[in-house]
């Protein structure tokens, strides 16, 4: 009974606050009212955790996508560092409207990315993305966004494995990507790949002394069979051919969090953790309720099996599909850190962008693969220009505003 009273009191206060806003900002208040009611409606269900931005005055990660013809801020043809894997326009994507959307938070305006300001404020500093290929996706995006503001400034690039670095020489700014899909170590023992859930050694040597560190992990933990990146996992001195993936992720992230708390000087280095980037392989997740007849449902099934052919974002502020269970692990680990990383919670806003993936328009696919989108479409990574530009706009906002 007490919980019920508390719930309705909280609902009343939220609605009263938003109704007051109607006198000042009616369009914002109406959207916020719908958002608040939806959250209260789901109060007693097993829904996604409500992870808030570090800024108390702006819910950066709750909002909607709006059409904006001033985007994108760069063209793929003017940014040669984009990998073929992400270069959708070069590899035949016929539509371009997916480039014309801007993220609009519910109760504030997101500052537009200013590449020249980024160069000035980050002069003499180092930025490093650490993680899997989604981190590389974001690394290339940031380089393109900054380069567009200073197209004639001298640059230098070194591509390696695990470390790649791009330098803006006049500004002594380095932007790097360090490939570490699990964040923890993976080593070869007796010819077998062993994922060390309790160890970060060599990986971490180059993470120290960086001014901005942004970590991500997630996708590789769900791979199975021939796609998984290990033969054994090691935990507590014991070896496992497999184990519950969420348990393994939790253990690895706790190892990472302890490493960060022990080795990173938070007075010098700004630490970010980017939430799980979603995939769009199941059209039923965003077509819920769309098919009203058996014939319509059959047509949907035969014409679209994944993100192939999707050209528009999902409207509204919420996604009907499955929220990554991994995010509950991420949230729990970050909350227990001595110096918590800033969570760039891009999951929900990215879930709305079913239109942003390379699909079959990837330089990594051959003609036979492109002819079979049901099997070959890439609905994990993102086109450039595209969604990762918004991730970097949010990073930019967190750094400077």
By annotation, the residues acting in catalysis are 133, 378, 381
CA atoms of 311 and 236, how far apart (whole Å)? 48
**Chain CA centroid to CA 266, Å:** 23
What are 164's strand-pairing partners? 177
Helix (H) or strand (E) holding 65: strand 63-67
Largest CA distance in the chain: 70
Q: Which residue has the tokens 């994922």?
A: 195
CA atoms of 364 and 237, how far apart (whole Å)? 39
What are 67's strand-pairing partners? 101
Check: CB of residue 134 under 8 Å from CB of residue 381: yes
- How many beta carbons lie within 10 A of that of residue 52, not counting itself? 13
Helix (H) or strand (E) holding 348: helix 347-351
Burial 161-190 (b: 16+ CB within 10 A, else e): eeebbbbbeebebbbbbbbbbbbbbbeeee
CA atoms of 374 and 376, how far apart (whole Å)? 6
CA atoms of 211 and 264, how far apart (whole Å)? 10
List of long-range contacts for 93-98, beta carbons under 8 Å, 24+ apart: 93/358, 93/359, 93/361, 93/383, 95/311, 97/311, 97/312, 98/311, 98/312, 98/313, 98/353, 98/355, 98/356, 98/383, 98/386
Three-state DSSP at 144 gives: helix
């Amino acid at each position: 009974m007490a919980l019920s009273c508390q719930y309705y009191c909280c609902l009343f206060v939220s609605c009263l606050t938003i109704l007051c806003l109607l006198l000042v900002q009616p369009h914002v208040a109406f959207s916020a009212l719908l958002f608040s009611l939806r959250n209260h409606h789901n109060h007693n269900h097993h829904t996604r955790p409500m992870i808030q931005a570090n800024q108390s005055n702006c819910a950066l990660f709750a909002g909607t996508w709006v059409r904006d013809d001033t985007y994108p801020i760069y063209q793929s043809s003017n940014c040669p560092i984009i990998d073929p894997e992400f270069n959708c326009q070069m590899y035949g994507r016929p539509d371009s409207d997916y480039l014309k959307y801007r993220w609009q938070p519910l109760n504030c305006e997101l500052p537009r990315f200013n590449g020249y300001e980024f160069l000035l404020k980050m002069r003499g500093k180092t930025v490093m993305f650490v993680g899997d290929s989604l981190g590389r996706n974001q690394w290339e995006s940031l380089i393109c966004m900054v380069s567009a503001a200073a197209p004639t400034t001298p640059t230098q690039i070194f591509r390696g494995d695990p470390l790649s670095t791009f330098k803006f020489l006049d500004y002594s700014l380095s932007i790097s990507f360090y490939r570490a899909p699990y964040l923890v170590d993976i080593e070869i023992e007796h010819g077998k790949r062993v994922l060390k859930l309790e160890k970060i050694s060599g990986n971490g040597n180059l993470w120290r002394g960086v001014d901005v560190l942004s970590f991500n992990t997630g996708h590789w933990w769900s791979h199975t069979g021939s796609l998984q990146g290990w033969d054994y996992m090691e935990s507590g001195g014991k070896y496992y051919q497999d184990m519950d993936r969420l348990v393994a992720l939790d253990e690895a992230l706790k190892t990472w969090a302890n490493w960060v708390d022990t080795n990173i000087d938070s007075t010098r280095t700004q630490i970010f953790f980017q939430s799980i980037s979603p995939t769009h392989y199941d059209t039923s997740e965003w077509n819920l309720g769309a098919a009203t007849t058996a014939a319509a449902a059959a047509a949907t099934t035969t014409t679209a099996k994944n993100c192939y052919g999707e050209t528009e974002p999902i409207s509204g502020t919420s996604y009907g599909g499955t929220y990554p269970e991994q995010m509950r692990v991420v949230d729990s680990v970050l909350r227990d850190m001595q110096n918590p990383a800033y969570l760039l919670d891009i999951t929900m806003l990215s879930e709305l962008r079913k239109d942003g993936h390379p699909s079959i328009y990837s330089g990594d696919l051959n003609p036979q693969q492109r002819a079979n989108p049901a099997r070959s479409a890439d609905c994990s990574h993102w086109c450039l220009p595209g969604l990762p530009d918004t991730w970097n706009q949010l990073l930019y906002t967190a750094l400077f505003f």
